[in-house]
Structure 1
Amino acid sequence: MTDSADTLRARLTEAGRVCGGWCTVHIDFSEDRENPEGLAESRRRSVRDRLNRMGADDATVAAIEDALSTPSGLPSPFSRFLLARDGEVAVDEAVPGAARGETLEVGVLPRLAPLIATGVDEFPYLVVRTSRDGGDVAVHRTGAFFPESTASVEGRTDTLHKVKGGGWAQLNQQEHVEELWKQNQQELSAEVDRLVREVRPRLLVVSGDVKARRLLLDAVGQAARSIAVELDANTRSDGTDAARLDAFVAEQVAAVEQRDRADALDLLRSRVSQERAAADVGLREVVGALQQAQVDTLFVDVAALDGETLLALDGVPWVARPGDETGDAEAVGEVPAAEAILRAALLTDARILTATQQATGAGAAALLRWPAASVTGA
């Protein structure tokens, strides 16, 4: 599968620029079933046969079948999303969770909606598992199963446990132990602060021993503390509560995404009421804004746009309604409206959020880079 360091958005954007001969595959590929090897073979054969019947070229079908033959080693349920043309797989993503619907298509453009619905504007986050003798920190990215990188800090472990009793000897020993704990967490905090500066995560999840967590959060900088959330679970020494940590991380990531969407929707509602609104609501208005590369954030409800079509173009302005002036660009086909505006949003570097028609007032809406009444940005 594709290297996660090369962002999903960048790969989809590059695919969206190229017209002709695309195969799109999005299928459930969960392996938690009886006879998973036989099931995987049956899925590959079904995909191959159906793409052949749709007229896909042999080299591209073979490339897809080969990609689907690679063992994933991923936890189920998950789905596979592939875009391929000219005998090469351009996008191969494993998506957590079962596929909401199946897509197999051969066409002039790749189908983007099935994957974009799961989120393409990824963000990084950190997960720390700490204990009194050190800790581990992992860099994750939303939508990925495994961390992009991990680092461990192993501090001093001599005499890590406090002793009971009285007297000066015992007191000195306890102070020594406390100092060891503090030093270990300061080393870990330096690594966390470095990653916060370099990776710019949206979230820092801290789990592990309660005393170690407190020492760590006291030691990290304000940038790290401002995005930190704690899980009261000892997750480092023996993997205890690993499932609980995974569930907590998923909840916190979802909370960040929900806050982003809510904030953007609030901004949309406030702008729509303004006289020279830097916002548009409605498919016609959004298409016009996309043609001017005016859209900062696109809201789309794919289901609400079902049955609507637009023209996809081979160059700027990328999308048009019948009769629109398109300059030197030529239409490559009439495509579902949601696909057309999603492609144009990617190609004009607009942020993409899924939102219901009830939330925005239409199947498509947009926050603009400059007010709708201006074509110059003034």
Structure 2
Amino acid sequence: MKLSFLDPLYAVEGPVASVFLDTSRDIDDPDRAIELRWRHARDKLAAEGADRATLSALGDAVGADREVDGPHGQALFAADGRLLLAQVLPRPPARDTARYSRLPDVMPLVMQLAPDIPYLVVVITREGLTGADGAAPLEADSIVVTLQGGRWPASTVAPEPVSSFALPAAQWQQGAARVTATAEQAVRDNGSEVIVVWAQQGDAWPKGVFVNRLPPELQRRVVTVEGEEPPRAAPGRSLLEQDLANLLDNRLGDRDRTLFDRYLAQRSRHGDSSEGMAAVVRALQRGQVQALLVNDQPGLSSARLWTGPEPTHIALSEEELKAFGVPSVAQGPADSLLIRAAARTDAELVVVPHEELALKDGIGALLRYTTPAP
């Protein structure tokens, strides 16, 4: 996963307020519940020194996701009276948190946005046309196709617009070409790795026509799911949300899989320079990391590291940084310092399911280059 979306958080001088709130609205009186959650967060930020303008900027954004149905949350970041980043979370945070600190608290955010897999949903239904009395179906019917792209899981609660087509069934063989052309363009636009095609049970023909019109390369990306009733997305949520979860949760995207496989090859040759906190910190100091790998339950929030003004000023001890000539050093949460160093040295992030590989200290690094052993 690219980390460039975090750049606004590192472009400011001074402390950043980071807030994670459960803003689900599937409860009685959700507005009151959200207001109470925000009040506790605001009080904590104020006690840590957050200024009124920054608190006001955050307060204006709290609950702005009210159009999103079902369980979810918000991640909000502000500094100097400005909202820097607002992200609707696919899931409520494990707990509400608020922190006013030198560096933003971003690990809970990036963990929720992984694995960041681009996809395209295609829903194909057949709709019969009824007579004037609303009962007797006419002979004619229509094939209705709905397309929606996205990136899993972020677009669960930030769905992209849909494209819809309706053609008489008798013209579907010829008309499908226009639909598949639109699907091909959508795949090119977002790099869809998976094309999820929903079809009605017992009606394989419309789906078959669509899939067979796709180029062979795209046909290999197709996964078919079936159902009896046409799917309907809840307000503010993506089509086929549960089917996407079944297919894409705990899966690495194509880019992440490539980086992970390269990491495994590197680890077999240079294990000591690839895995664990000490090795990763050394590599980040040199700007040597191409991809930072973390387990999906990294346990890094309780660890502490030392840092200076620059992202590569990161070390296990105060003495080490001072030996490098860093004039001003401070201690901070390891997860925040690691993500900043990775983001500001153009490293990518790969969240590795613990079941697939348990990393030492929950962390590893794919290196841009290796250095000879002394």
> Counterparts of 1:196 and 1:8 in 2: how far apart (Å)?
19
Question: Does 2:335 align with 1:338?
Answer: yes
Would you say the 8 A contact 1:196–1:223 is kept in 2? no
> Counterparts of 2:2 and 2:261 in 1: how far apart (Å)?
27
Question: Does 2:84 align with 1:90?
Answer: yes
- SS across alignment from 1:334: strand
Question: Does 2:16 align with 1:22?
Answer: yes
Aligned-CA RMSD value: 3.2
Query: Unaligned 5+ residue runs, structure 2?
Result: 127-142
Residue matched to 2:365: 366
Shift of 1:352: 1.5
> Counterparts of 2:48 and 2:250 in 1: how far apart (Å)?
41
> In the alignment, which of 109, 120, 127 is matched to residue 126 of structure 1?
120
1:334-372, Cα deviation, whole Å (9 max, x unpaired) = 112222112111112222133449712333211112224
1:205-263, Cα deviation, whole Å (9 max, x unpaired) = 11124211111110011232122101122565x84999993211122222543887677
> Counterparts of 1:25 and 1:330 in 2: how far apart (Å)?
31
1:166-219, Cα deviation, whole Å (9 max, x unpaired) = xxxxxxxxxxx3xx2212322211111112222211211111242111111100
Would you say the 8 A contact 1:294–1:369 is kept in 2? yes
> Counterparts of 1:304 and 1:271 in 2: how far apart (Å)?
24
TM-score, normalising length from structure 1? Answer: 0.80
Question: Does 2:217 align with 1:226?
Answer: no
Would you say the 8 A contact 2:119–2:149 is kept in 1? yes
1:242-299, Cα deviation, whole Å (9 max, x unpaired) = 999321112222254388767755543432222x579611212111111222212212
Would you say the 8 A contact 2:115–2:351 is kept in 1? no
Would you say the 8 A contact 1:134–1:185 is kept in 2? no
Q: 1:244 to 1:105 in 2, by over 3 A?
A: closer
Residue matched to 1:182: 173
Query: Unaligned 5+ residue runs, structure 1?
Result: 1-6, 161-176
Shift of 1:313: 3.0
Q: 1:202 to 1:15 in 2, by over 3 A?
A: same
Residue matched to 2:165: 153
Would you say the 8 A contact 1:19–1:109 is kept in 2? no
Shift of 1:67: 0.8
Would you say the 8 A contact 2:286–2:312 is kept in 1? yes
> Counterparts of 2:41 and 2:2 in 1: how far apart (Å)?
23
Residue matched to 1:170: none
> In the alignment, which of 231, 234, 245 is matched to residue 250 of structure 1?
245
Shift of 1:65: 0.9
Residue matched to 1:139: 149
> Counterparts of 1:270 and 1:12 in 2: how far apart (Å)?
29
Paired residues, what number?
Answer: 346
> Counterparts of 1:79 and 1:122 in 2: how far apart (Å)?
18
The one-letter code sitting in structure 2 at the alignment partner of 1:228 is V
Percent same amino acid at aligned positions?
Answer: 24
1:304-323, Cα deviation, whole Å (9 max, x unpaired) = 44543222332252423432
Residue matched to 1:285: 279
Would you say the 8 A contact 1:82–1:92 is kept in 2? yes
> Counterparts of 1:113 and 1:371 in 2: how far apart (Å)?
27
Shift of 1:121: 6.1
TM-score, normalising length from structure 2? Answer: 0.81
The one-letter code sitting in structure 1 at the alignment partner of 2:76 is L
